[in-house]
Structure formats: structure tokens, C-alpha cells
Structure 1
């Protein structure tokens, strides 16, 4: 029964207002480093058989925070890297929400290939394939951490829950959140989802989510493409 811990990277200065994608040089903000440190503290009592990260800086820095003081090095797997958003990369989400592709991303993501980029179906395929390979490599008693990105984590969770990719926008993965999946011979079990610990203040909807017209959630019902900045 291999246990996979999925951690999303901490906040950056682009997280939320801009779709960072594979933009180089995007590092954790001060708040993101605090989040990574808090995640590391939460996991400090748990022995990890491996720590694996997306190659992007924000994930590497989050994973290194967890690895600090351990003998387990951070290993990099590009298959856990962010979706390649192509021409959408680096653009404000409020602007992208006016693009004709936006409602397809929201309602039929399995049909989406980002212009000049990658399909969401391909993202799910590479990430789930990587999980299965790491599960096999580490064995049934292993507990390991993968630090990745919002849409990648959502795609892995959708697969674990037996959901069609078109349902993955119903899943949330906040910055520095922890999701745990236990893989058994019969089926996966989602043990925790988008767990950020601490108080429950983040369960109250943020101010202004009922208003349309901009930001990472233009209609209040739209999913935050790329994962968003979370509620904490």
C-alpha cells in the first residue's frame, strides 16, 4: 500500500493573478517560504522514502524546505512539471477569462490543448504514469512526497478517484496544501485532500467571489486555472 503525498508549491508573486506556467525564475515569495516552512514542520515527524519535485524553481524550493535536515535528497521528475500552457503562459487570468478557450477549460478540459502548448489529457497521462512508476520503484510500504503544481495535482487526484478529467475542475489544490493518496492492489484511497492544516477561517468564501469580471475566479464559479492563490 504505497502512500503518495502530493504537495503544491508555496505562493510566488505570480500565483493567482498570472498563469505562470513554465516561466523561468519564478521563486517563492516571503509568504511562500513561510508556507513551505510550515509544510516542512507538519511533515517533520514523518519518515519519507523519497522526495520528488517538478523541475520548476517554486517546487524545488518547497521540496528543499521539506528535505532540510533529512538524509533524503530531492529528486527531480519533469513529468510532475507544470502544464505547458503555451501562448497562455505569463498572461493575467482576468484577461484569459475572456478568451473563447476559457469556458472549454472550465467545462470540457479533456478536449483542451493550449495554443502552442500541451493538452490537459497529456498532463494527466504523464503525471499518473510517473506516479505508477514511482509506486513500483519504491514498493508497497513506501511513503513519499511529490511537490508539483495545482492542475497536475488535480489531474492525479481525479485519476485516483475514478473521475473523468472533465470533473477535475471540481478539485482544489491550494499553495502548500497536502493531499494524500494510498494505492492498494485493488484501488487508490484519497486520505486527505487540499489539507493546509491550522484553523478553518479559509472555509469562508473570500470577499468578492460572487462578482464577475476579473481576477483568478471571474464568475465565482470558475476554477482557478493553474491552481490559484488559495484561500489562506
Structure 2
């Protein structure tokens, strides 16, 4: 059983009005740096077995804020990088909303390949493959952070929830939000989604608990009938 924490990068000057994509040199704004520091404070009490980031500056800066003082360097994995939006990159969202492809992105994203860029199906495949490989590399009981981008996080969450990619627009990943997914031998459990505040101590299983063991014959993969008593 491995716990993945997905953090979206903090705000940048382009977040909201412009589709930044892989535009180089997009750094956190003052507000984004404050969000990254707040995220680091929220996670300060939680031991992390790895901190992984998209190679883009806005994610690296967010991840480095979390890594500061931990004695742990930030690792990069391009598979957690932003969707390659091709000709849409750097264009205002208001302008893109008039593009004939926009309604397809909203209602049928599994059919979308951005002109000169990447398909959303490919984004999901690479990100979920990366998650599975990091889970195997870090092993059962590990808790690790991946700092990534909104559409990438939504695609990973959709997979964890067993949703078709066409439903991933129902998921939200705000700047500097935290999403937690616990992967068990049978199924993933989404513990937190788009969380922007609150205590995080319950994200590491209690020592000696069944969740901390997670052997193949354990009941850690079973859903709690009636809702359960929580993870803290």
C-alpha cells in the first residue's frame, strides 16, 4: 500500500487568463510563492519518502518549498509534466473558448488531440504509468509527493476513481491544492481531493495498523461498509 500526494503548483502570472502549457520561464507569482509556503507548512509534520516534480519551473518551485529543510532533493519526472497543448500554448483562454475544439475538450476529452500537441489520453497514460512505477519503486507503506499540473492531476484521479477520461472535467485541482490517493493491492482509495487546508497527519498509516502492513491477503483493499471510522 502506497500513498500518493498530488500537489498542483501555486499561482503564476499566467494562471487563469492564459494556457501556459510548456511555455518556458513561467515562475510562481508572489501569491503562488505564498501558497507554496503554506503547502509546505501543512506538510511539515508528515514524513515524505520522496518528492517528485514536473520539470516545469512553477512545479519545481512549489516542490522545492516543500523540500526545504527536509534534507531531501526534488526529483523530476517529465511524465508528470503539463499536457503539450501544441498550438493552444500561450493563448488566452477566452480566445480558446471560441475554438471549435473547446466543446470537445469539455464534453469528450478522450477524443482530443491538441493541434500540434498531445492527446489527453496520452497524458493520462504517461502520468498513471509514472505513478505505478513510483509506487513499485518506493514500495508499500511509502508516502510521497508529486507536484504536477491541473489536467495531469485530474487524469490521475479519474483513473483512481475508475472514471472514463470523458468524466475528468468533473474533477477540480486548484492551485497549491492537495489530493491524496492510497494504492492498495485491489483498488486505489481517494482520501482527499482538491484539499486546500486542514491537518495531514492521518495520511500516514498508524504504526502497527493493517493499513501500514497491506499484505496481499489483508483486508486493506476492502471499502469500509457504512463509511468507517476515518483515517486519523
Q: TM-score, normalised by structure 1?
A: 0.85
Q: Quote the residue 1:134 is aligned against.
A: 134
Instruction: Verify the 8 A CA contact 1:108 1:166 in the aligned structure 2.
Output: yes
CA positional deviation for 1:64: 0.1
CA positional deviation for 1:73: 1.0
Q: Quote the residue 1:112 is aligned against.
A: 112
Larger Rg: 2
Instruction: Verify the 8 A CA contact 1:48 1:72 in the aligned structure 2.
Output: no
| Map 1:13-92 → 2, pairs under 5 A | 13-92=13-92
- Matched pairs, number: 198
- Measure, in 2, the Cα distance between the counterparts of 1:143 and 1:55: 21
Once the two structures are superposed, residues 172-229 of structure 1 have per-residue CA deviations (whole angstroms, 9 ceiling, x without a partner) of 000000000000000000000000016xxxxxxxxxxxxxxxxxxxxxxxxxxxxxxx
Q: Quote the residue 1:175 is aligned against.
A: 175
Instruction: Verify the 8 A CA contact 1:10 1:36 in the aligned structure 2.
Output: yes
| Map 1:75-224 → 2, pairs under 5 A | 75-197=75-197
- Measure, in 2, the Cα distance between the counterparts of 1:111 and 1:140: 35
Identify unmatched segments of 5+ residues in structure 2: 199-232
SS where residue 151 of structure 2 aligns? Answer: helix
Once the two structures are superposed, residues 37-80 of structure 1 have per-residue CA deviations (whole angstroms, 9 ceiling, x without a partner) of 00000000000000000000000000000000002210000000
- Measure, in 1, the Cα distance between the counterparts of 2:71 and 2:25: 27
SS where residue 152 of structure 2 aligns? Answer: helix
SS where residue 95 of structure 2 aligns? Answer: helix
Once superposed, what is the RMSD of the aligned Cα atoms? 0.5
- Measure, in 2, the Cα distance between the counterparts of 1:194 and 1:8: 9
CA positional deviation for 1:140: 0.7
- Measure, in 2, the Cα distance between the counterparts of 1:36 and 1:73: 16
SS where residue 12 of structure 1 aligns? Answer: coil
- Measure, in 2, the Cα distance between the counterparts of 1:25 and 1:72: 24
- Measure, in 1, the Cα distance between the counterparts of 2:55 and 2:128: 17
Moved over 4 A (4+): none
Instruction: Verify the 8 A CA contact 1:181 1:188 in the aligned structure 2.
Output: yes
- Measure, in 1, the Cα distance between the counterparts of 2:90 and 2:79: 21
- Measure, in 2, the Cα distance between the counterparts of 1:140 and 1:158: 22
- Measure, in 1, the Cα distance between the counterparts of 2:163 and 2:72: 33
